């Protein structure tokens, strides 16, 4: 049976070797992914069209994502140790065709938010009341495609759209006043959670924001402790 406890996740991640280059990037997303799947997202392996959608735009180092999917029953935990090997569905970038529960193939940074905006528009047109969540790294905001998506979503009031940005201060340019200022000026509802406190992060994710898309910035330490 798949583990369903936060305490099991680091052991699952430690079993996925061969991509140590992105181990820190993966670890920085662990708490955010767990809270989203455990407390926020309306999604299970059995759900169809009425599910929430989650897009991992920060697709480099998906070990934390795979660990959470296994914990929540989307993946067979026995697949974990085959991570990155020949014929394993668990590649160094997640593939929506191969991995159950993965909504988009990602890893080429900067595309998750534009895709989420398009999905939010499509679901609005079909009158489907599902929420869209996308997880980005702060460095992705150097990509121009995100600026267009931020502006469009704010101006069109896509209030089913939610963005979580992992801010470990790795962006090339940074943002005076915090990266949330770029979203706020376009009409987004924004909040920053310093450190990934599960209770505070869940509250920020579920706060009401009628008529506006929502941004939650999760500020994490630039150096993540060893998983082993």
Whether the per-residue pLDDT at 112 is higher than 70: the answer is yes
**How far apart are alpha carbons 123 and 114 in whole angstroms?**
14
Whether the per-residue pLDDT at 109 is higher than 70: the answer is yes
pLDDT (0 to 100) of residue 228? 45
Whether the per-residue pLDDT at 87 is higher than 70: the answer is yes
- For tokens 């090339």, the residue is 172
Domains and CATH numbers, the chain: 6-219 (3.40.50.970)
* Cα→Cα distances 217→70, 83, 189, 201, Å: 25, 29, 11, 9
The pTM of this model reads 0.90
Mean pLDDT of the chain: 87
Enter the DSSP assignment of 79.
Answer: G
pLDDT tens digits along 161-207: 999 999 987 776 667 788 899 999 999 999 999 878 999 999 999 99
Between these two residues, 140 and 37, which has the higher pLDDT value?
Answer: 37
Whether the per-residue pLDDT at 222 is higher than 60: the answer is no
């Amino acid at each position: 049976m798949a583990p369903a406890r936060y305490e099991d996740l680091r052991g699952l991640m430690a079993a996925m070797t061969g991509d140590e280059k992105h181990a820190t990037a993966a670890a920085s997303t662990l708490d955010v992914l767990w809270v989203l799947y455990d407390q926020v997202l309306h999604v299970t392996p059995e759900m169809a069209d009425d599910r929430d959608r989650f897009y991992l735009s920060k697709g480099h180092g998906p070990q934390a994502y795979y660990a959470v999917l296994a914990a929540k029953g989307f993946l067979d935990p026995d697949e974990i140790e085959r991570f990155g090997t020949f014929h394993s569905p668990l590649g160094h970038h997640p593939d929506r065709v191969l991995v159950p529960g993965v909504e988009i193939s990602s890893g080429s940074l900067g595309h998750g938010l534009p895709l989420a905006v398009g999905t939010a528009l499509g679901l609005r047109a079909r009158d489907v009341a599902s929420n869209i969540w996308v997880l980005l790294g702060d460095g992705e905001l150097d990509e121009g495609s995100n600026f267009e998506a931020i502006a469009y979503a704010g101006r069109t009031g896509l209030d089913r759209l939610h963005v979580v940005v992992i801010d470990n201060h790795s962006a090339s340019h940074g943002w005076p006043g915090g990266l949330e200022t770029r979203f706020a000026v376009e009409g987004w509802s924004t909040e920053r959670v310093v450190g990934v406190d599960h209770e505070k992060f869940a509250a920020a994710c579920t706060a009401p924001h009628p008529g506006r898309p929502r941004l939650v910035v999760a500020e994490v330490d630039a150096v993540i402790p060893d998983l082993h």
